[in-house]
Structures are given as C-alpha cells and as structure tokens.
Structure 1
Amino acid sequence: MHTKDLVVVVTGASSGIGRATALEFARHGAALVLAARGAEGLEAVADECRARRGARAVVQPVDVADEAAVAELARRAVGEFGRIDVWVNAAAVAVFGAVEDVPADEVRRVLDVNVVGCLNGARAALPVMRRQGAGVLVDVSSVLGLVSSPYNSAYTISKHAVLAFDASLRQELRLAGERNVRVCTVLPATTDTPFFQHLANRTGRRVRAMPPVYTARRVARAIVGTVRRPRRTVFVGVSARSLRLAAALAPGTVERILAVKVDRTLFVRREAAPHSEGTLFTAQSGPGSVGGGWHGTARTAGRRAGVAAAVGAATAGALRRARR
C-alpha cells in the first residue's frame, strides 16, 4: 500500500509513539485524523503535521476506553475524508507497582485503555474498511506482549492481550474472506517517550526508561513500513528481536534475567518517589512531545550491546541443555 494520500487515524497522537507516527505519515503525504485526551497536545501535533508537506490534519479529543467516542471518531474521519485506510491504536497508560500494591481501579483503567481501547478502535474501523474492501489496522503492543516484567503486571497483561486479540481478529477476517483488510501488531522495545514521566507509580521509587532505549521515530518508521507491506507482527529494536528468540528457546532463563535487570535498572537508585496516578485518569497537560529525554546514542549503543550479550548467553545455555 502506498502511503501518499492515505487517510490515517492515530490514537494516542498527542505524545510519544502516536505523535511520532502522525508526523511520519504527514511526511509521506497522508491525511490525518488525530485523537487523544488532551486537546492542547493534539492541536500542537496537528500544526506540526500541517507544516510537513501541507498535510491535512483534523483533531478530536477522545478517551479510547469510551466506545461511543471512538465510534464518533470513525464517523468524523469518514465525514472529513470519505474513508479510513489506516487506523493506528497507539494510546497506552501504565501503573508501576507490586501486584498487591496497585489498586484494582488502576489495573482496570490500564486494561480499559490498552486493551478495550484497541477493541473499540477495531470495532469502529473494520466496518469502514470492509465496505471499502481494504484497510490496515495497526495495534501498538510491546516486547512485553511476549515476555513479562516485575512491577508492571497490568501493562504486561494488556500487551499480551493485544497480541492475542489481533491473532483472533486475523482469524475472523480470514474466515470471512477479507484478505485485503489486514491486522498488524507492532512490538517495540523500550522507547524514548514521555511515557515514563506520566505513568502511575506505586513503587515508592523513581522510575526511568530501562535501557537500551530506541527513538519513537524508529517505531513510527516501522509502523509506516508495516502499512506499506503488512505483516502479522513487527519487532522494533535489536533487543526486542533478541528477546523474542531467547524467550522461545529458554523462557525460564529469560524470566530470571529480566527480573534482575528490571529491579536493578528500572529505578533511580536511592531516589524515592511519591505515589502518583500519573495520567491514568486525567489527560496530559501542555503541548506534548515525542521524546522523553531518555535516548542517548552512545550510551544506548553500549547498553544494547550488553543486553545482546546477556540474551546471547541465555540462548547459548539453552541450546547446550537441549543437546544433552
């Protein structure tokens, strides 16, 4: 599918991966319908999109957990541009904390946004795409849709669920003979976005992006590439692809390694943080941004090499055990 002149809906468009994706599609000449909860951030990114090759962009504040609001978003897209070629579900929230420390309403909110939000997007977009006879639905999951992490159970559950949901959806479309309506799941590794500044935190410790950290534009380019050549799943980042292989060969070893790595590198040592709901229930204020200030090229390259070495060691150990 050529990206020029496509009509693209992006949720979570005011910040991070969603914002980077909107800008990348604008660079390729797409018309954009941008959704998120924060109106100020949406207007800011819409202005940036319009500055890129004069892209057409309209905005609509939406909470993706609200089914009626998401359905109205689809109607707005069709009303403005006549069709929906691509729908990208990139909205996400998180709460960090031990399982017994996170309130049930905060867990439900993560699942409502990250999982039900994708369901609502699919239910709104797919009827339009079926009538057209073509379209691409892209759900942004995470490498945590394949492996797991301590202190982040609600988000991990949600990203596993997105992967499973998309598989079910592909099966239904295939059985219905809808070969030109495609469903793609993108699984990035840790990405440089404001996500870590805005998450809810119940750990008592200040959270930071766990290296290696990749740029949001790298994920956005992968999403655009996936629309051009749809694939079931796309892993973004060397560490994501390495973890995929290692988890298949030595799931127990990877689980143990990640537990230690997260505990040692996810938090700023000896720096406490108050309990916070972050942006779970309220929209991010201000104009928003793509990056969160976590990406440092040289530092990240070194840490990436360290992760690759650790994953390689786990994989080699699993292969040795398998040969015995």
Structure 2
Amino acid sequence: MRTVVVTGASSGLGREIALELAKQSAKLILVARNTDRLQEVGRECLLYGAYSVNCLELDLANQTSIETTAKWISNHFSAIDLLINNAGIGFFEDFVDQSVEEIKSTFDVNVLGTMLFTKGLVSSIENVEGNILNICSVAASVTTKKAAVYGATKAALVAWSNGLRLELKNKHVGVKVVNPGPMKTNFFDNADKTGKYLEKMGSLALDPNVTAKKIIRMSQSNQTELFLPVYMGWSSKLYKVFPIIGNKVLGSKLIDRK
C-alpha cells in the first residue's frame, strides 16, 4: 500500500483524489486549512477503505504552519510514496484591479508555500524513490483575461517542477505535472465573484471525480505531464506557434471571466 500526502484535501479535486486513493487502501495524510471539512473527508476515506487517515491543518501562506506540519509528517512517516500538491487559490480579476494582498497571497500559496512544503518532505520521498505530483493548470501556458496573476503562479510551478525533476532524477524521485482546465468545483466560489464563468463553460468544464481517477492513474505510470482535457495540450502547443490566432481566441467572449 502507498503512503500519500494530499494538500487541499478538504474539498473539490483534493477530496475526490483522497477518496480514489482510499479505494486503493492507501495510507492517507490529508492536509488543508479547513479542518472541519477535512475531518469529514477523512471519515469518508475510512468508509471507502483507506488503511489509515491522518488529517492535519496546513496554511500554505504561513511559513510556521508549513514547517510544523512538514516536520510532523516527516517524524511520523519516514517513507512517503506520493506527494500530491493540489492546494491553490486564485482571484479572477483584471490585474490592475487586484489588491496587493490578493497578488501576494496567490504567490504565497500557489508557489512559495508549495515549494517549502515539498522541501520539508523530500527526504521521506527519497527514502522510497517516490513521486511528487503537482496540480498546475492549463493557465500556465494559455493564460486568459483576468487570470494574469493566477497563470503566472502556475507557470512558475511548472518551471519549478521541470527543474526539480532533473535535480531528483539521480535519486529516482519522479516529478509529475497535471494541467487541468476549468473544473466544476468550489474553487470558483472565491475565484470568480460573478459566478458566471463555470456557467459559460457548460459541458466543457471538467468533472472532478473523473479528473481524480485520471490523475491517480497517471501517478502510477511513467508519464510526467498530463493536460486535461487532452486537447488542451495541443492548444498550448498551437498557441506558441500561432500566437496571433491564439490571442484572438483568448480574447473572445466564450472564455471571458465576467
């Protein structure tokens, strides 16, 4: 059985990932800010067949919280097979309208917090030649209006993942990246104040349960990068080759977050 750490496990995609891993009788270490909801997910995971579940509070915007939680995990679990960095935040507004606090917190959680938490667990991952799987976003390579800051944080996470993969190769630790498109989760409750973006996406928005299953399969393969839906990967490549056409599409009303 695998020992797996999942960040942002209290809701949305993180919850679905945790439940899928529970079905595989994994030893789960679930972390999130909302401990009440996290405990509920933990109880669900035990019902789904998890071997064991530890629920820990973690605020990725707080360095003390990161260090305390990472240290506790390392002290109690010397072998971690998989770390899934799923936690993230976003504020979909025009860059000039975003507050300094929003910009800073987005980078603190999505980039710095994720890096520091991973740093605290690397030795336990190395002990079993495990894997680090970072949930990034298609916004890392195809950034739309009102997602300049969010896209920048996810692009940073992809770049870091690529470099980290090379650094940990000789220690036989894998580093994987998943770039999902818009998903039907409560992420947009805070990210999109208008509440209209998911409605516009309609059937194009990903189902978190289906997405979680694909992510778990990918974590057990040799694949290092996954775009969901798959055509988003081709869109990313085409955008780089034909940026003028890409900018016209990205500027259309179909994907305008307002």
With the length of structure 1 as denominator, give the TM-score of the two structures. Answer: 0.74
Query: What is the distance in 2 between the residues matched to 1:208 and 1:226?
Result: 28
Q: Does 1:208 align with 2:197?
A: yes
Q: Secondary structure at the match of 2:251?
A: helix
Corresponding residue for 1:122? Answer: 118
SS of corresponding position for 2:176: strand
Residue 142 (structure 2) aligns with: 147
Q: Distance in 2 between matches of 1:261 and 1:136?
A: 39
Q: SS of 2:72's equivalent? A: helix
Equivalent residue letter for 1:24: E
- Which secondary structure does the structure 2 equivalent of 1:51 belong to? helix
Q: Which residue of 1 aligns with 2:229?
A: 237
Matches of 1:216 and 1:129 in 2, distance apart? 26
Instruction: Give unmatched runs, 5+ long, in structure 2.
Output: none
Q: Is the 8 A contact 2:26 2:50 kept in 1?
A: no
Q: Give deviations 1:278-301, integer Å, cap 9, x for gaps.
A: xxxxxxxxxxxxxxxxxxxxxxxx
| Alignment of structure 1 residues 1-324 onto 2, 5 Å | 5-130=1-126, 132-174=127-169, 177-178=170-171, 180-199=172-191, 201=193, 205-209=194-198, 210-211=200-201, 212-262=204-254, 264=256, 266-267=257-258
1:316 maps to: none
Query: Secondary structure at the residue paired with 2:144?
Result: coil
Residues in 1 aligned to 2:73 and 2:106: alpha-carbon distance in whole angstroms:
26
Greater Cα offset, 220-229 or 15-24: 220-229
Greater relative CO (CA pairs within 8 A, separation 6+): 1
Structure with higher Rg: it is: 1
| In 2, Cα distance between equivalents of 1:247 and 1:193 | 27
Aligned equivalents of 1:207, 1:39: Cα separation in 2: 29
Alpha-carbon separation, structure 2, partners of 1:15 and 1:220: 12
Which residue identity does 2:112 align to in structure 1? V
C-alpha distance after superposition, 1:297-322 (max 9, x if no partner): xxxxxxxxxxxxxxxxxxxxxxxxxx
Per-residue deviation at 1:263? 5.3
Instruction: Note if contact 2:24-2:50 (Cα within 8 Å) is conserved in structure 1.
Output: no
Describe the SS at the equivalent of 1:88: strand
Deviations 1:26-51 (A, max 9, x none): 11111111111001110110011000
Distance in 2 separating the partners of 1:124 and 1:261:
43
SS of the equivalent of 2:161 reads helix
**Aligned partners of 1:6, 1:133: CA distance in 2, in Å?**
10
The Cα shift of 1:104 comes to 1.3
Paired AA for residue 43 in structure 2: D
What amino acid is aligned across from residue 235 of structure 2 in structure 1? L
Distance in 1 (alpha carbons) for counterparts of 2:233 and 2:132: 22
Please say if residues 30 and 42 of structure 2, whose CA atoms lie closer than 8 Å, have aligned partners that are also in contact. Answer: yes
The letter for the 2-side match of 1:182 is: G
Identical counterparts, % of pairs: 26
Whole-angstrom distance in 2 between the partners of 1:98 and 1:43? 36
Unaligned ranges ≥5, structure 1: 268-324
The one-letter code of the counterpart of 2:65 is A
